[in-house]
Structure 1
């Protein structure tokens, strides 16, 4: 029973991801975005519950990755296509497929590097990337379709990049003040543009922070 509870939470992650695709297919884009966010909540709980019950296992880790690929790779990609990128035809489909593929690659790299990479995430975590793309529809903003396509492509790249993102556990990648302030300002500006897009602003600000933090780290390295 103790093993069943965290595994059910992990599977519920995938269930919410699938329901997000159903909602996107039906044109309920905001509901689809919220379901992706709920999937992220379930994804965050399963590991904690497994550790609480002392039942963490390799099976659970593999199951978690498979569910993440569906909920934060395929589901946001399908949502992005249904929401706007279908207007680009096959080009839009390829961009969305690339996003889902990069998500799978990100998870595979994470699984084989857990013993090497500690204290930070190498590349943007797939839940953050998926939720950023998904929650964009909650902003109500309608930029040129090519700009949204570019955003999806950039976030696909960030997942497989070597940009270091802090895990906020108090060790590992240094959190620099200026990048943090700039990221908060970016998030605040996005909320000013669209108050309903507060979740998108938070996820987007985290992605921006990682990029800026790495740039400042590189600059500090060149100064020494």
Structure 2
């Protein structure tokens, strides 16, 4: 791809978010569910290539905070992600990247149509397909994250994952990618905190991540590795 043809602008009223024109040369269509076709479609692949080949991590951001996406879009305006953003924004060297079936998305690009026009799970999926889909997603996440880390190995000194600290979901894929890239990883919340809340009935599964104790634990970890804004 000829990246010199790309046009960049900020999102009206929100200068921290960046729009990119001409990266995707076909109309963006809503993508529902996680499958091989939705995870590895040409549109998502082009964005991942851009993040690995052209994108530059903002100066001074040497701590990578990885966290989940949200059903509501844009991510940062959802009830799940906004509290995470509020904590991360306290630390000037922390850079947030969202993990999803679209790949890994530096937070500042989330307002682009691609990242507002999809969801993760298809309600029509049969139960027997769930394990297969989870495996497919974990494999794609590990490879895309490893490529991203390898491309920006000179920028990041530490990765913090805010996710379930168990052998399901994102944790094993992220751990493998970090080990391959040689970057240290911290996982929050810790297993003891996670166990306290994992059986709680939530309207949205990821509401676990906005429990005060989980957010406080994330904040304490970022205090250890972050540089406070204004300090």
Structure with greater contact order relative to length (CA < 8 Å, sep ≥ 6): 2
Question: Per residue, is there more helix in 1 or in 2?
Answer: 1
Normalising to structure 1: TM-score of the pair?
A: 0.36
More strand by share: 2
